[in-house]
Amino acid sequence: MIFISDWRLFVAVRLDRPRRQLLTRWCDQIRSTGWDAFGKWVHPEDYHITLFFLGACKPEQVPYLQQQLTRVARKQTPFTLKLKDIGVFGIPRRPRILWAGVDGEVPALNTLQQEVVQALTPLGFQREDRPFRPHITLARQYKRHDFDTKSVSEVITQTAEREMEWTVKDLVLYRTMWGRVPMYEPLVVLPFRRDDQGEEG
């Protein structure tokens, strides 16, 4: 049972400002070419890659989550990701979700996701049955027929690879704030260990 006092939380990695701005340009291009048929476009400040969706939580659980996530972050060094392509979830010609994919040091991202899940499942949170597919949600609720993924993907062909790369430096525990824009509030930001710090026991 979910109570009004519960917080809806998830763990994610965020994008830096230049990458958020780049995704905003991509979305503007998509919308200007006639594909502005999604019911909801994600605010740029809300772009992220979800690692673990926790769902309804009590506010008093946050310190315990922070403690576990701090242990994960202190073992992790920064790594590089790169925006890769644009795709959809759902029926290709009438998709539920428009997303941007990632490339780069994806094995490091996968390992981080697994460690987050392993750290938090002992607290009673359930992992998803479906495999982890890292992505950044751009839009939801497509309202027309004949969506052309190939045409939409062409908006990234003019982007230099160096513009797509960013360094992931921290974990973020987010709270969903219904009715607000941006909708996701960073509750806790947990920096990774730098190369010169050495791993804590």
* CATH number for position 14: 3.90.1140.10
Give how far Cα 160 sits from Cα of 30, 99, 105, 154, 155, Å: 18, 19, 18, 13, 12
Is there a domain that residue 17 lies in?
yes
Catalytic residues: 48, 135
Containing domain of residue 60, as a range?
7-191
* 156-193: pLDDT as tens digits: 666 766 788 999 999 999 999 998 999 999 999 999 98
Is there a domain that residue 1 lies in?
no
Is there a domain that residue 200 lies in?
no
* 4-16: pLDDT as tens digits: 578 999 999 999 9
Q: Which residues of 111-120 are buried (b: 16+ CB within 10 A; e: fewer)?
A: ebbebbbebb
The token pair at 70 is 């701090």
Q: What span, in angstroms and rounded, lies between the C-alpha atoms of 201 and 199?
A: 6
Number of domains in the chain: 1
pLDDT classification of 1: cutoffs 50, 70, 90: very low
